Amino acid sequence: MSNLLPFRSVVIFGGAGFIGSNWAHHLLETTDARIHIYDNLSRPGVEQNLQWLEREAAGTGRLKSTIADTRNASQVARAVQSATEIYHFAAQVAVTTSITDPRLDFDVNVGGTLNVLEAARSTGRRPFLLFTSTNKVYGAMSARELVRSGRRYTCLDSEGTDESQPLDFYSPYGCSKGAADQYVRDYSRMFGIPTVVFRMSCIAGARQFGNEDQGWVAHFLYSVLQGTPLVVYGNGCQVRDVLCVRDLVRAFEAVITNANKTAGEIYNVGGGCQNAVSVLEVIEHIEKLTGKRLQFKRQDPRPGDQLLYVTNHSKLTRHVGWKPTLDVKATLEVIYDWWRSERKSFSPHSAIPALRAANLQEVPGAVQ
């Protein structure tokens, strides 16, 4: 690795978040990269992730943080001046917020992304840039023929969704993330910046403060552990493929190591068919793991929900040899272990349970 990338100056937008903090920690542990965390700390809990990273990097001089917003173009430009790699994870993630305030959603997801791209272009050095998009760019995918089988939906096409699936943005959130991922792709074609787009399915793992806005698998687990009831929209047979953040981190490393092959590409990234699971099946896994019953009530499904989304990651596998290694059960165990080590963060007086009043977003059955 050091021969391919002798000097790594890494900027992570959204670096205190769930995915960003896991990636930053991986870099601290396995490389000599200098890391710049750029985050507005708007999501409750992420301050703890930043403090954890600062403890891990104490005395090394390798970690820097900037508390700022990607909508501030001048601050973004300053942050990337010496970057050799840029990871753009910062986003507005709630569909309900995008419906309530489409302008805010656009400004953060499209405007913020354009600021990052322009800042990268202005360096003149063409730094590697990875952007995390979403499966929501494919819309409701309602034209597929689905069959309800037991506790889940199944599809006649069992290989999952690959990158040939037509784009069909749905909701302001889908539009903003879809527009952003097209900008990222085009900056590779037009300006020669080596960009990669990951259209991701359900990511779960340690350091995820799951709540109704994002992180439904973790949110379900925390709810049963705390005896907090939740809402399941629809019949619970909706299916997603789950990818552990540890495997996502491996995918990041694979695409930067093979940037000569991955630059300019878009990849669907998720747990794949072997890690496809329904809402009801996740509840069953959690109850077996914890020995507790999950209390929930049902509400009508929300418009635009994908009843079934499973990633076909064969393109990424062909290009870099990456495959998921952790299944759904192992991923839940990872989250459970982390929750036990950070139990104080989930006390009744912490900021995390206060989010219980927010609208459910990433749980299949909700608009996403």
* Cβ atoms 37, 65 nearer than 8 A: yes
CA angle, residues 289, 292, 295, in degrees to nearest 5: 120
- Phi and psi at residue 365, to the nearest 5°: 110, -15
pLDDT at 274: 95
pLDDT at 275: 97
Catalytic residue among 173, 222, 233, 267: 173
Supply 291's token pair: 């020995």
> What residue segments make up the domains of the chain, in order of their start?
9-357
pLDDT at 361: 34
209 vs 366: CA distance, rounded Å: 19
For domain 9-357, the CATH architecture is: 3-Layer(aba) Sandwich (3.40)
Residue 183 is among the residues annotated as catalytic for this protein: no
Nearest to 121 by CA among 69, 86, 75: 86
Helices 46-56 and 18-30: crossing angle in degrees, nearest 10, is 10
Give the Cβ contact number of residue 163 at 10 Å.
16
| pTM for the predicted model, two decimal places | 0.92
- Beta carbons within 8 Å of 108's beta carbon, 6+ residues apart: 70, 71, 90, 91, 92, 176
pLDDT at 213: 67
pLDDT at 350: 45
Per-residue pLDDT of the chain (368 residues; tens, 9 = 90+): 333 456 899 999 999 999 999 999 999 999 999 999 999 999 888 999 999 999 999 999 999 999 999 999 999 999 999 999 999 999 998 777 888 899 999 999 999 999 999 999 999 999 999 999 999 999 988 878 899 989 999 987 678 999 999 999 988 999 999 999 999 999 999 999 999 999 999 999 999 998 766 789 999 999 999 999 998 989 999 999 999 999 999 999 999 999 999 999 999 999 999 999 999 999 999 999 999 998 899 988 876 678 999 999 999 999 999 999 999 999 999 999 999 998 877 765 443 433 322 223 333 433 22
